[in-house]
A and B are shown apart, each in its own frame.
Chain A
Amino acid sequence: MSRITVSHLTKHFGAVRAVNDLSFAVEPGSITGFLGPNGAGKTTTLRCLLGLVTPTRGEARIGGVRYSDLRYPAQTVGAALESSSFHPGRTARNHLLVLCAAAGLPDRRAEEVLELTGMTDTADRRVGGYSTGMRQRLGLAATLIGDPAVLVLDEPATGLDPAGINWLRQLLRHLAHELGKTVLVSSHLLSEMEHTADRVVIIAGGVLVHEGSLDDLVAGSGAVVRARTPEPARLLAALADAGMHGHRQDGSVVVPGATPAQVGHAAFAHGVELHELAAEGTDLEDVFLQLTGGGETGALTEVGPPA
């Protein structure tokens, strides 16, 4: 119902190919991280999705409908695109009341979202005097005003302090996991999403480089698990049993494309003694850099497995 589908989306700004033949889907009930370095085309994709920018080719739909054809947009999709899209001379409450009126919502929705985002006490101050974090909260309040089933947030964590990031994370989890909403959150920091997103869509240079879970990302990245054991032969056999392929290296066993949990379980099941079990090259930020082509070659050889 409230699935987001992006198909063959392409947007050129003159000679700049901001987004190129991008296709992916976002499912309800989960948080999808939309990742990419600066200039990857995240904001452009979201603006195409929200009908603010006309794609050169392709399209994006929400629940099978184009944004501009939605009957009740604010009640269907909540979107926050900039950290500040407020008139500095207008109070937070008035900003929300303007939206309430335009969306045909009762004025009490303004009070409700102010409370939800902890803004009630500052709601009558002009937004010009707000801190970045307060603006982010107000932006979030605005997205929730129509109680939409789909949330689209562009870098909502920017400018939030650790407590604020934690609060945002809890809120997004609640919205996705308990209320079943579709949540698409962009970020240029994988670490920010690592503990929040259930799935990730990673783009670079306007094209898709990865879509799926974070575990897939690790497995496909050339990351390895290193195990030290007094019985390497038995461990290799145990791994083979579990469908994994390891090899000996520097007196330990190295298993590519696996997680420590999988290797640990295989060892336990066969009663193999382990002295050390560690993930290597699974620094997600490195994987991210490698995928998006932003890493230095030095970092790449360090991460990549010996061919």
Chain B
Amino acid sequence: MSHLLRSEVRKLTSTRMLLGLTLGGIGLVVFYVMVIVFTAGDRKAGNDALVSLSDAASVRAVYGVPFEVGYLMPLLMGVFIISGEFRHRTITPTFLVTPRRWRVLAAKALVAAGAGVVMGVVLTAVATGLGAALIAAKGYPVRLGSDGVPRLLVLMCVGLGVWAVFGLGFGALLRNQVAAVVVAIVLVTVVEGLLAVFLRWVHLGVVARLLPAAASNAMVQPSNVTPLDLLPWWAGGLVLLGWGIVSAFLGSLLTLRRDVT
């Protein structure tokens, strides 16, 4: 297995994909942190803003940007790790060298998780560093050691690894790279949002809390003003992990059986 892990790490580090997605993720995180900080209202000034940096929840929303939007990058990385092999047909030499396919998939899942955590560390550092600097500059407490912020920072580093595994399963299920990318993004952003609205409308909000992006958000608890229907943080973490495992398992199951032509 250590041979295979080395091989998968070499695959990941010998193209520009990981670097490109990490840079893209940094850009995304910087943008959203600035948007939240600069659009936040000032409740001290007497208005009734939904987001105010004097709130612990709003501060968590700033630091939690990797969980709110940054997770798309490890998700895409996971998709690319497997669908890239089908797209460029490198899956043929891969399975020729290791005909026991489950070992390849296990190695990919471990490496995807590891690389996702690395991305998580980078994006969390960027969000926290930039966020804290901006919040402090505006004269609010940065809350880095309180209000569930330390827990959130750790959960984000790990959680982005789970998102990468989720993406891996997705890529294995769909194989076609373009389709997998589009479907993955649309599903976790647009479709999940619409589905959640629908579920609440039919009084199934309990189910809506179990969707993957909602589970991610549960770990941030970004608001105690708006009535967001979220699980407790620990349950959100477990549900997200569940999604990662289910997705990777289904994708692997299909990949183990399918012909490579």
Residues of A within 8 A of B (CB): 43-44, 47, 50-54, 67-68, 70, 73-74, 77, 79, 81-82, 84-91, 94-95, 97-99, 101-104, 142
Contact = CB atoms under 8 A, between A and B. Distances in A.
A2 to B, nearest CB: 16
Contact of A84 (B7, B89, B257): B89
B7 A52 contact: no
15 contacts: A43-B261, A81-B92, A85-B88, A85-B93, A87-B14, A87-B15, A89-B15, A89-B16, A90-B11, A90-B15, A94-B14, A97-B14, A98-B11, A101-B3, A104-B3
Contacts of A103: 3, 97
Nearest to A51: B99
A82 B90 CA distance: 10
Given A98-B14, A102-B97, A82 B261 contact: no
Contacts of B203: none
B89 A82 contact: yes
Interface of B: 3-4, 6-7, 10-11, 14-17, 84, 88-100, 257, 259-261
Contacts, number: 85
Contacts of A84: 89
Contacts of B92: 52, 81-82, 85
Nearest to A99: B97
Given A52-B92, A52-B96, A52-B260, 7 more contacts: A43-B261, A47-B259, A70-B99, A85-B89, A97-B10, A101-B3, A101-B4
Given A47-B261, A73-B96, A90 B6 contact: no
Given A101-B7, A142-B93, A86 B88 contact: yes
B15 A50 contact: no
Looking at B7, B84, B96, which has the most chain A CB atoms within 10 Å of its CB?
B96
Given A98-B7, A98-B11, A142-B93, A52 B100 contact: no
Contacts of A44: 261
B3 A86 contact: no
Given A51-B99, A87-B15, A102 B94 contact: yes
